[in-house]
A and B are shown apart, each in its own frame.
Chain A
Amino acid sequence: MPLDATPELSDDVLLIRFANGDRAAARTLTLRLTPRVLAQATRMLGNRAEAEDVAQEAMLRLWKIAPDWRQGEAQVSTWLYRVAANLCIDRLRRKPPAPIEDVPEPADDAPNAEGQMQTRERLSALDGALARLPERQRQAVILRHLENLGNPEIAEIMDISVEAVESLTARGKRQLAQILAPRREELGFEDD
């Protein structure tokens, strides 16, 4: 069964159906939005368990606001990214940054175990580098380059101007490149 059984329905429409008690809409929204909000929270927090808590909390807030949702006023995903970002920032400010958790070893019998291991290593390096960025730069880079959102939507989520988003992502990317450049070869990118 496909993860999203009704790709033609917008989040807006599904949320209104959800508010009317539609179980199928609840399922579709869960499958459609949870991975996105989890990915954002994982990159922001660098901790899987905390990211899952944030994702669940953000989704719970979406369920609670559903009956009052006004169609067309805001994008559901934008609203959700914003809630998740705020929850992440609250957590980041409450405690010092946690170390990036250990990356699980791939199974030995996997056909491309070596390739998977290198992918894991690269993603772990990216997570480590992201964790070293200032909070706002990290958020902007994640939304732009990992969540693939447009600058106007990011501006709305972060409550800043589009120009400020461009500046944050450019500076964030420059800093990421500086952090990761010494490991380029080690991570499997030929320097020719």
Chain B
Amino acid sequence: MKNKPEIKAALKAAFPYTLPIMAGFLFLGAAYGIYARTEGLAAAYPILMAAVIFAGSLEFVAVDMLTSGVFDPINALVMTLTVNARHLFYGISMLDKYRAAGKKRWYLIFGMCDESFSINCTAQPPAGIDRSLFYFWVTLLNQVYWVSGAALGALAGGLINFDLPGLDFVMTALMVVIFLDNWLKEKQHYSSLIGLGVSLACLLIFGSGSFIIPSMVVMLIVLTLLRKPIEKAADAASEKEAQP
């Protein structure tokens, strides 16, 4: 068991990283809660789903499933796997970091949404901060924001005016900044360029509803074919860094 000052220090280090997500999740979570209510669900459903599914875009799809009137659990499972397949890439990327987190890893993996993955994958906690605790706080704070937003929208949606056109852009802005931070510190840019290029090409070819899985497949193929040059570029950069 870690001591209290260590836990507090990790919280203090993690909190600033989650501020943009606080704004984005409270707003989008509220929009989600309101949407679920206007579709006819009781308030408990969006709140429950926010807590146990914790995957924003799927939860909107789940509202449609629950209100369609058709009970089709196999379809629900297939839809979920399709919408969330990108998490597989997150897991492979976080193998080393999360496997080293002891018992906390179970919660870290459970709560690995887009935003928690992006921060924990790129943030460099200050020296002296326990990394696993830092990852833990980022994940927990994000989930608290999302569930609070959903509850706010589901319970008080009719009372408060949430109409702030454009505030949802905060999530896009955050992703761009995280991408830039990673770009500035990565040892080779092949992966980032492949990620952008392949996804954009697949978006244009397959359309916004079904481009993620083709993108993942093509990325895997390209990264596998380019393994040698990419490893060489990364090694060359590391050697350069090691020289005085």
Q: Do A and B bind each other?
A: no
Residues of A within 8 A of B (CB): none
